[in-house]
Amino acid sequence: INGNVDKDKTIKAFSTMFKSTDKEKFAFTPHIPDIKPLTEAKESIKEAPDTNTDWIFLGWQTAGMNNKKDFATLQVIDSLLGTGMSSRLFKNLRDQEGLAYQLGSSYSANALKGAFMVYIGTNPQTLEKSKNMLMAEINKLKTEFVGTKELEEAKDKLIGQFILSQETNLDKAATVGWFETIGAGYNFTDDYEKLINSVTESDIIEVANKYFTNNYVLSIVKK
């Protein structure tokens, strides 16, 4: 429940509603999945003769919400690398090189693990160049400091999107519930902006080198 509600009345209403609920205790054993880390690159190429667009997906295993600092840094990397028209991938691969029909990056985090991915849809004639340039953009993150202006813009964009994603009470309740479910805590929304703003240029290089290794998954669908 999220909104301008009376706490005492709400608790009383729920107490009445669940009054007849069976109170029998049950044994709860948490399930912790055995997610094995990648120890080498895994590449898959599939042919789709009827398509006019080749697709490249490149991804890595990362930390989840169990490492909030890395979570925040990966969120900032996602923002500056592949979110929106101001991102590096959009400007460098689409605007300057004309390689992409569609492209971007994505970072998703659960309680224990996460995944970071970059992708591009390109002309079959530019498949290899697109793959090389995706790799080059990843390597830049590992070797070159992000400029102060670019970093601040990426943070502002990320925080702005986070605020907009909670415009309604339903949005707020869903966000709070999700953070509580994955172990960040229901009050993580209060700390989010401060955590994002704490990310530095050095953090980005450190985290990029930590996760963007040669142990990746590469999937290509080609004409």
pLDDT band of 183, cuts 50, 70, 90? confident
In angstroms, the CA 157 to CA 160 distance is: 5
Q: How far apart are the C-alpha atoms of 207 and 209, rounded to whole Å?
A: 5
- pLDDT at position 159 over 60: yes
**Secondary structure of residue 220 in the 3-state scheme:** strand
Written as one string, the DSSP assignment of 60-88 is EEEE-TTSHHHHHHHHHHHHHHHSSTTSH
pTM: 0.88
Bridge partners, 106 (sequence order)? 117
12 within domain boundaries: no
Q: Is residue 127 part of a domain?
A: yes
How many domains in the chain?
A: 1
Does residue 81 form part of some domain? yes
Position 16 scores a pLDDT of: 84
Q: What is the mean pLDDT of residues 159-187?
A: 91
Distance CA 174, CA 104 (A): 25
**Per-residue pLDDT at 24:** 62
At 30, is the pLDDT very low, low, confident or very high (cuts 50, 70, 90)? low
Residue at 29 is within a domain:
no
Per the domain annotation, does 45 fall within a domain?
Answer: yes
In a domain, 5, yes or no: no
For the cut 80, the answer to whether the pLDDT of residue 32 exceeds it is: no
Average pLDDT, the chain: 92
> What percent of the chain clears pLDDT 90, i.e. is strictly above it?
73
What strand order describes the sheet that includes 42-47? Answer: 42-47, 217-222, 54-63, 113-122, 100-109
Structural domain boundaries, residue 188: 41-222
CATH number of the domain enclosing 144: 3.30.830.10
99 or 27, greater pLDDT: 99
Sign of CA dihedral 182, 183, 188, 193: negative
Helix or strand (DSSP H, E) at 173:
helix 169-181
The residue among 73 and 9 whose pLDDT is bigger is 73
Whether 10 is in a domain gets the answer no
Q: Would you say residue 26 lies in a domain? A: no
Beta bridge partners of 59: 117, 217
pLDDT of 177 over the 60 cut: yes
